[in-house]
A and B are shown apart, each in its own frame.
Chain A
Amino acid sequence: MHERERDLVAQFMQRQIGRRELFRRMGQMGVGAAAASYLLNTASTQVLAADFDWQAHKGKTVTLLLNKHPYTDAMIANLDNFKTLTGMDVKYDVFPEDVYFDKVTAALSSQGTQYDAFMTGAYQTWQYGPAGWLVDMNQFISDPAYTAPNYNWEDMLPNLRASTAWSGVPGEALGGEGAKQWAVPWGFELNNLAYNKPLFDKLGLGVPKNLPELIETAAKITKDAGGPYGIGVRGSRSWASIHPGFLSAYSNYGQKDFSLADGKLSAAMNTPESKAFHDLWVKMIQDSGPKNWATYTWYQVGTDLGAGASGMIYDADILGYFMNGGDNKEAGHLAYAAIAPNPEATAPTPNVWIWSLGMNAFGQQQDAAWLFVQWASGTEHGLFGARKMDFVNPVRQSVWDDQEFKDRIAAKYPGYIEQYTTSAPGSKIYFTPQPLFFNLTTEWAASLQKMVAKEVPVSEGLDQLAESVNRQLKQAGLG
């Protein structure tokens, strides 16, 4: 590398100039984009390699189990960086989300050694951790022999670090004393509004600020838009229908899933306040939700917004993000806004879904696997993904502070950064951690279906749900 080019890359690595400026000046020196990318990648590797033996496991191969996701695409696109840095090889299997967690459960429960690391959600660690299938990452994170000095664990958003750590004691707070770091946050989504801006402008609608306004706006869209329905939310018979918009709004009303007394859990879904909230939510779906709501997963919610079949969604912010691009009919027409559903609340409280990286407790090369996890969750890869790929939302504050990333998002996704900034302080997992999470949350979704279908009145449905939940908690020795 010539001296002038090396200096230029060094300036970039020290954040004295931006990526655009780097490429502009490289261009002036006659260095093409491909060559500039190569130089940059080499320099990134050198920066990462400083003061830490990344080559400790040179020649080894780590095997990953991955979900088909833009985060996975970003990782695969940058994999050469890891290989150059460590001298290691990476093999991976990618499965669609429909079957992904079945594969993980089968791979881990059989105590197989095939996979060294894998993608997981934070909720899943409440099953995998107590079962003894996961490595407690604390042993690596806190040991300088295993972790590079520039890994900067504190740079990870604190609520996400806490949300992926749990003591295993049902009902005990996430990230509390003695919590084990069952996984490392990788990318995450919080739940807010994404809406069709031209449609809102055409109908002269303002962006709803709370749930009553949301219900009213959704009803107007359904009535006046001439086709599109008002609000897209998930409704399939699955725990995945509860955790996005529904629980974000529920927690904003100060409601909880369980109450804890003397170490015993009991259902808290049938309080008068919870019933009042459920009444509002059910009415919103009945009046302005999709006709086939009971079969709606994130996929249908997202594609309806992208196709112009719905006016807005209350779901993962990144779902709205992805629908604003590609060959979606409404690409470029979507905008984003934070929402605090309770009119008396001071700020939004979005529940979060965190795609995380976990390590197989039965894996034969955990040290090598940690090198991969460390690299994949590190700042450099986070910046690469956020700037060049769709690796949003980043889990590191330094990536959110990156001007190039912010400029890119602000240019194409109006309101996205603002909805994040407004919501981030209150965004975390609002569920009570306990090992029956999937049973009881799926049953909650089934109860909602019955209420929306008017098979059972809301109050009676919630009493039945609480009774069933309490019975199951008692049977499992948790209630």
Chain B
Amino acid sequence: MTARGAMAARLAGHPTAVAVAKRIGVRLIAGVGVLWGAATLSFIALHVTAGDAALSTVAGQGANPTKELLDQVRRDFGLDQPLYRQYLDYLGRLLHGDLGQSYQQRIAVSRAITEQLGQTVQLAVSAAAVAVLLAIGAAVLTARRRPWRSIASGVELTLSATPTFVIGIVLLIVFSFTLKVLPVSGNDGPRALILPMLTLALPIGAVLAQVLRSELEEVLEQPFILTARSRGMRDTVVRVRHALRHALVQIVTMSGFVVGGLLGGAVITETLFVRQGVGQLMLSAVTTKDIPMVLGLVVFAAFVYVVVNLLVDITYTLIDPRLVTR
């Protein structure tokens, strides 16, 4: 046996630490680039769109602020500076982790986000878990099994094509108004979480199930599945132990879609169920043209994306060791 062979044997097929570190390093640099791009694009988008931030800040019901007052507001927020100065100041603050002050709430954007984050994380994480579990269950149990396959597929198609708020309303009508088993709205307790969580989870889970099933069906054609069954293993166990891991790569790849769906869906779900959270915060920030708040939320969302994608990349190498050692 050669020295190389001996080393390969000792590592026994696991990716080398150097190779993994290199992958992560490259991804980190790319992630910083993504954050900068998100900050810049949303900055441009917010400043070129119509509307006067100063006016919308002081304009309450029926208010008619004087020019002096508006100028005062502009000076306070630095809105009188040329756009490139505002941009550079903004980037400079961002480098120090400072997301700025909300025009409307007059508190630090980061504080506003952290205050609301807990509720949204609770909603999003539970919804994601339910979506993935539903998808795995539906796909493993129905792949290549007629007639269940067509039934499940039809339900999934309907769910993924239905707008989130419709699903929410249907759930509300059934469980809150008719059966009266779950609360209509609010943030208190796990019972209030169930309907918003399902509203958010069902359409995402439906898409994941479709993808996962078609992956599974492809994997089930592979000879190693036949080998596993010829050892006397139950079909369902073969699916879970051998096929699922191959198909999960696809789900991991779709994490970006899931995170996007959760963030977007949170806005609608939190509004519909009148829950506090980042989604509500985003909605009110956009309608009142609270520029620092919107920018802060966008950068925050981009940060979540980058972190998730980094985790996805690490997960790949855990699921499929061939990706590094090949």
Partners in one complex: no
Q: Which residues in B have some Cβ–Cβ distance to A below 8 Å?
A: none
Q: Which residues in A have some Cβ–Cβ distance to B below 8 Å?
A: none
